[in-house]
Structure 1
Amino acid sequence: MSLNLRLNNLISNIPPPIGNLSSLVSLSLHYNILEGSIPNELGQLMKLQFLQLSSNKLSGLIPPSLYNLSSIVTFSVVANQLYGNIPASLGLTLPNIKYLLLGRNAFTGSMPVSLPNASGLVEVDFSSSYFSGPLPENLGRLHDLSVLNIPGNKFGGGEGDNDLSFLTSLTNCSRLEYLDATANQLRGTLPDTIVNLSTHLTLLGLGGNPIYGSIPTDISNLFNLNRLGIFESSVMGTIPIGVGKLQNLQGLYLYSNRLSGRIPSSIGNITGLVILALNGNRLHGRIPSSLGNCRHLQVLALLANELNDTIPKEVLSIPSLIELHIDDNSLVGSLPLEVGNMEQLQELHAANNKLMGEIPSELGNCLKLEFLNLSNNFFQGAIPLGLKNLKSIKLLDLSHNNLSGHIPVTLEKFPILEYLDLSSNDLDGEVPQQGIFKNSSAFSLLGNKRLCGGIPQLQLPACLKKDSKKHGRSISLTVIFSVIGAVLGLILLSSIFVTLYRARRKASKNPLPASFLESKYLNVSYKDLFKATGEFSSDNLIGEGSYGSVYKGILDRDETLVAVKVLNLHQRGASRSFLAECEALRNIRHRNLVKIITACSSIDFKGDDFKALLFEYMPNGSLEKWLHPNVHGQYEMRSLNVIQRLDIAIDVASALEYLHHHCGTPVVHRDLKPSNVLLDNDMCAHVGDFGLARFLSNAASNTSQDQTSTTGIRGSVGYIPPEYGMGGKASTHGDVYSYGILILEMLTGKRPADETFKDGLSLHQFVKMALPDRVIEIVDP
Structure 2
Amino acid sequence: MKPPVMDLSLFLLVTFHAILVPFLSLSLSGHASAAIIGNVTDKLALLEFKSWLTEDPAGVLDSWNDSLDLCRWTGVKCGLKHRRITVLDLEGRPLVGTISPHIGNLSFLKILNLANNSFFGGIPSELGDLIRLQTLNLSSNFLGGDIPVNLSRCSNLINLALNHNLLEREIPPQLESLSKLANLNLGDNNLIGRFPASLGNLSSLQQLFLSSNNLEGEIPDAVAQMRSLMIFRVGMNKFSGVFPSSLYNLSSLSHISLALNNFSGGLRTDIGLALPNLQNLYLGMNRFSGHIPSSLANNSDLMRLDFPFNNFTGNIPMSFGILQNLWWLNLPNNILGSSAVDDLSFLTSLANCSKLQILDFSRNQFGGQLSASVANLSTQLTWLNIQRNHIRGSIPPEIANLINLDAVGMGQNLLTGNIPTSFGKLSKLQELHIDRNLLTGEIPTSFGNVTQLLYLYMQNNSLEGSIPSSFGNCKYLQYLDLSHNKFSGTIPIQLIGISAFSRGLNLSHNSLTGSLPVEVENMRILTVLDVSYNKLSGEIPSELGSCLALEQLYMQSNFFRGTIPHLSNLRSLRYLDISNNSLDGQIPSYLVNISSLLNLNLSYNNLEGEVPVGGVFKNASAVEVYGNKNLCGGTPEMHLDPCPVHPEKLKKHIATKLILGITIPISCLALILLLFSLYWIRNSRKTTQSTFSLGPFYPKISYAELCNATCGFSSDNVIGSGNFGTVYKGTLGLGDETVVAVKVLNLQQRGASKSFMAECQALRNVRHRNLVKVLTACSSIDFVGNDFKALVYQFMPNGSLEKWLHPEDGQSQTRNLNFLQRVNIAIDVASALHYLHHQCQNAVIHCDLKPSNVLLDNDRTAHVSDFGLARLLSKFNKEANLNQFSSLGIKGTIGYAAPGNF
**TM-score normalized by structure 1?**
0.59
Structure 1 residue 290 corresponds to structure 2 residue 482: no
Which secondary structure state, in structure 2, belongs to the residue aligned with residue 164 of structure 1?
A: helix
Pick one of 276, 300, 306 that aligns with 1:95: 276
Q: 2:588 is matched with which residue?
A: 408
> Mapping of 1:625-774 within 5 angstroms?
none
Give the Cα–Cα distance (whole angstroms) in 2 for the partners of residues 466 and 367 of structure 1.
40
State whether residues 55 and 80 of structure 1, in contact with CA within 8 Å, keep that contact through their aligned partners in structure 2.
yes
Q: 1:383 is matched with which residue?
A: 564
**Amino acid across the alignment from 2:585:** G
Structure 1 residue 105 corresponds to structure 2 residue 306: no
Deviation at 1:135, TM superposition (A): 1.5
Which secondary structure state, in structure 2, belongs to the residue aligned with residue 389 of structure 1?
A: coil
Structure 1 residue 56 corresponds to structure 2 residue 237: yes
* 1:608-647 superposed Cα distances (whole Å, 9 cap, x missing partner): xxxxxxxxxxxxxxxxxxxxxxxxxxxxxxxxxxxxxxxx
Unpaired segments of 5 or more residues in structure 1? 473-781
Structure 1 residue 212 corresponds to structure 2 residue 404: no
Q: 1:139 is matched with which residue?
A: 320
Structure 1 residue 32 corresponds to structure 2 residue 216: no
Give the Cα–Cα distance (whole angstroms) in 2 for the partners of residues 298 and 352 of structure 1.
22
Deviation at 1:434, TM superposition (A): 0.4
Q: 1:301 is matched with which residue?
A: 481
Deviation at 1:470, TM superposition (A): 10
Q: 1:229 is matched with which residue?
A: 409
Structure 1 residue 262 corresponds to structure 2 residue 442: yes
Q: 1:83 is matched with which residue?
A: 264
Give the Cα–Cα distance (whole angstroms) in 1 for the partners of residues 647 and 359 of structure 2.
74
Give the Cα–Cα distance (whole angstroms) in 1 for the partners of residues 644 and 189 of structure 2.
71
* 1:705-754 superposed Cα distances (whole Å, 9 cap, x missing partner): xxxxxxxxxxxxxxxxxxxxxxxxxxxxxxxxxxxxxxxxxxxxxxxxxx
State whether residues 501 and 523 of structure 2, in contact with CA within 8 Å, keep that contact through their aligned partners in structure 1.
yes
* 1:97-151 superposed Cα distances (whole Å, 9 cap, x missing partner): 0001111111111100212111210000011111111211121111110000000
**Amino acid across the alignment from 1:51:** F
Give the Cα–Cα distance (whole angstroms) in 2 for the partners of residues 336 and 355 of structure 1.
11
Deviation at 1:8, TM superposition (A): 2.2
Structure 1 residue 192 corresponds to structure 2 residue 387: no
State whether residues 130 and 153 of structure 1, in contact with CA within 8 Å, keep that contact through their aligned partners in structure 2.
yes
Relative contact order, CA 8 A, sep 6+: which one is greater?
1
Pick one of 333, 338, 359 that aligns with 2:514: 333
Q: 1:692 is matched with which residue?
A: none
Pick one of 524, 528, 539 that aligns with 1:347: 528
Deviation at 1:420, TM superposition (A): 0.4
Deviation at 1:461, TM superposition (A): 2.4
State whether residues 413 and 437 of structure 2, in contact with CA within 8 Å, keep that contact through their aligned partners in structure 1.
yes
Question: Relative to 1, partners in 2 of residues 1:418 and 1:471: Cα closer, same or farther, differing over 3 Å?
Answer: same
Q: 2:626 is matched with which residue?
A: 446
Structure 1 residue 396 corresponds to structure 2 residue 565: no
Structure 1 residue 46 corresponds to structure 2 residue 222: no
Q: 1:316 is matched with which residue?
A: 496
Deviation at 1:192, TM superposition (A): 1.1
**Amino acid across the alignment from 2:232:** L
State whether residues 294 and 320 of structure 2, in contact with CA within 8 Å, keep that contact through their aligned partners in structure 1.
no
Give the Cα–Cα distance (whole angstroms) in 2 for the partners of residues 277 and 391 of structure 1.
29
Larger radius of gyration: 1
Give the Cα–Cα distance (whole angstroms) in 2 for the partners of residues 454 and 101 of structure 1.
60
Give the Cα–Cα distance (whole angstroms) in 2 for the partners of residues 287 and 198 of structure 1.
33
Give the Cα–Cα distance (whole angstroms) in 1 for the partners of residues 432 and 600 of structure 2.
33
* 1:235-290 superposed Cα distances (whole Å, 9 cap, x missing partner): 11111111011111110110000111111111111111110000011110111111
Question: Relative to 1, partners in 2 of residues 1:467 and 1:222: Cα closer, same or farther, differing over 3 Å?
Answer: farther
State whether residues 43 and 69 of structure 1, in contact with CA within 8 Å, keep that contact through their aligned partners in structure 2.
yes
Question: Relative to 1, partners in 2 of residues 1:470 and 1:197: Cα closer, same or farther, differing over 3 Å?
Answer: farther
**Amino acid across the alignment from 2:615:** G
Give the Cα–Cα distance (whole angstroms) in 1 for the partners of residues 494 and 645 of structure 2.
48
Which secondary structure state, in structure 1, belongs to the residue aligned with residue 318 of structure 2?
A: coil
Structure 1 residue 271 corresponds to structure 2 residue 426: no
Structure 1 residue 67 corresponds to structure 2 residue 248: yes
> Mapping of 1:597-636 within 5 angstroms?
none
Structure 1 residue 367 corresponds to structure 2 residue 548: yes
Give the Cα–Cα distance (whole angstroms) in 2 for the partners of residues 466 and 97 of structure 1.
88
Deviation at 1:449, TM superposition (A): 0.1
State whether residues 452 and 460 of structure 1, in contact with CA within 8 Å, keep that contact through their aligned partners in structure 2.
yes
Q: 1:529 is matched with which residue?
A: none
Give the Cα–Cα distance (whole angstroms) in 2 for the partners of residues 467 and 74 of structure 1.
88
**Amino acid across the alignment from 1:21:** L
Give the Cα–Cα distance (whole angstroms) in 2 for the partners of residues 61 and 138 of structure 1.
25
Which secondary structure state, in structure 2, belongs to the residue aligned with residue 243 of structure 1?
A: helix
Deviation at 1:55, TM superposition (A): 1.2
Deviation at 1:464, TM superposition (A): 3.6
Give the Cα–Cα distance (whole angstroms) in 2 for the partners of residues 373 and 234 of structure 1.
29
Structure 1 residue 417 corresponds to structure 2 residue 597: yes
Give the Cα–Cα distance (whole angstroms) in 1 for the partners of residues 407 and 452 of structure 2.
12
Question: Relative to 1, partners in 2 of residues 1:341 and 1:471: Cα closer, same or farther, differing over 3 Å?
Answer: farther
Give the Cα–Cα distance (whole angstroms) in 2 for the partners of residues 113 and 138 of structure 1.
6
State whether residues 212 and 236 of structure 1, in contact with CA within 8 Å, keep that contact through their aligned partners in structure 2.
yes
**Amino acid across the alignment from 1:100:** L
State whether residues 243 and 266 of structure 2, in contact with CA within 8 Å, keep that contact through their aligned partners in structure 1.
no
Give the Cα–Cα distance (whole angstroms) in 2 for the partners of residues 269 and 57 of structure 1.
48
Q: 1:506 is matched with which residue?
A: none
Structure 1 residue 242 corresponds to structure 2 residue 422: yes
Give the Cα–Cα distance (whole angstroms) in 2 for the partners of residues 381 and 471 of structure 1.
33
Question: Relative to 1, partners in 2 of residues 1:293 and 1:466: Cα closer, same or farther, differing over 3 Å?
Answer: farther
State whether residues 457 and 482 of structure 2, in contact with CA within 8 Å, keep that contact through their aligned partners in structure 1.
yes
> Mapping of 1:559-574 within 5 angstroms?
none
Structure 1 residue 201 corresponds to structure 2 residue 381: yes
Structure 1 residue 170 corresponds to structure 2 residue 350: yes
Aligned residues: 470
Deviation at 1:467, TM superposition (A): 7.7
**Amino acid across the alignment from 1:307:** F
Which secondary structure state, in structure 1, belongs to the residue aligned with residue 189 of structure 2?
A: coil
Deviation at 1:230, TM superposition (A): 0.5
State whether residues 374 and 398 of structure 1, in contact with CA within 8 Å, keep that contact through their aligned partners in structure 2.
yes
**TM-score normalized by structure 2?**
0.51
Deviation at 1:78, TM superposition (A): 1.0
Which secondary structure state, in structure 2, belongs to the residue aligned with residue 115 of structure 1?
A: helix
Give the Cα–Cα distance (whole angstroms) in 2 for the partners of residues 467 and 338 of structure 1.
46
Moved more, 358-367 or 460-469: 460-469
Deviation at 1:68, TM superposition (A): 2.4
State whether residues 357 and 383 of structure 2, in contact with CA within 8 Å, keep that contact through their aligned partners in structure 1.
yes
* 1:325-347 superposed Cα distances (whole Å, 9 cap, x missing partner): 11111111111111111001100
Give the Cα–Cα distance (whole angstroms) in 2 for the partners of residues 347 and 117 of structure 1.
50
Overall identity of the aligned pairs, in %: 47
Which secondary structure state, in structure 1, belongs to the residue aligned with residue 529 of structure 2?
A: strand
State whether residues 168 and 191 of structure 1, in contact with CA within 8 Å, keep that contact through their aligned partners in structure 2.
no
Give the Cα–Cα distance (whole angstroms) in 2 for the partners of residues 467 and 204 of structure 1.
73
Unpaired segments of 5 or more residues in structure 2? 1-181, 653-902
State whether residues 149 and 180 of structure 1, in contact with CA within 8 Å, keep that contact through their aligned partners in structure 2.
yes
State whether residues 491 and 516 of structure 2, in contact with CA within 8 Å, keep that contact through their aligned partners in structure 1.
yes
Q: 1:182 is matched with which residue?
A: 362
